[in-house]
Amino acid sequence: MKGIIINADDFGYSKAVNYGIIDAHVDGVLTSTTLMANMPGAEHAYQLASQHPNLGIGVHLTLTCGQPLLKGHHTIVDADGQFKKLYHYQKLFHIDQEELYKEWKAQIEAVISGGVTPTHLDSHHHTNNLDAVLPVFKKLAKEYQLPVRHNFTDPKQDNLVSTDYFEYNPEILNASATEIIERYEKYDTIEIMCHPAYLDKSVMTGSSYATPRIEELDMLVNPKVKEKLYRSNQFKLITYRDL
């Protein structure tokens, strides 16, 4: 039996994103999400989290969106004090690892203070797997004894808990059960990443990935997808708590 975690990134981005994630969990197959502690919808996300204890909630460590939680940064913010955009990290860049460690630790602590016991760590825009960032990510995962997303060279080599495989494309859920089993033949546990949401102005103007979120939400609550995953004895929907 394949253990499948269906994880929604960006919990806390905005109320529209939050409501989409909760509907995908309550009415669909979503089992897990990761929360952006620095975004305007974070407090709303904490409220929703308390109402849905079966939803696994990790921390979506953020470096490229919004404003940091701590003041006084120099290498991870622009002149206005906002996180630098993703393009900044696509070529040569400098980052103070201690500065990043303090900010990401503050984000984890904020989630805990919001009443959430984190299930795992990942990062917005996969910045955790940048060469200069990955050591900080691993350090925090070990410090808090949290599982991590398997989006870099085998985390288990560093004694970190993770799934056997990480799937970037949620459209695999539209495939037949047989195709899904064949695709993940070598793996016992899989995380499938997704970004379900309703759309509001903050998503439409602030995210490079906007309208596909509606399609993903529709897929996650689709009766055929639910039937395939819930009725088959080949799949078990899990969270990072189950690893």
- Bridge partners, 121 (sequence order): 59, 148
- Residues contacting 98, CB < 8 A, separation 6+: none
Rounded Cα distance between 65 and 69, Å, is 12
- Residue 44 labeled ligand binder: no
- Residue 73 labeled ligand binder: no
One-letter-per-residue 3-state SS of 30-62: CCEEEECCCCCCHHHHHHHHHHCCCCEEEEEEC
The Cβ of residue 186 has, within 10 Å, a number of other Cβ atoms equal to: 7
- The helix or strand, by DSSP H or E, that contains position 100, with its residue range, turns out to be helix 97-113
Q: Annotated binding site: which residue ranges? A: 60, 124
Q: Annotated binding site for Mg(2+): which residue ranges? A: 60, 124
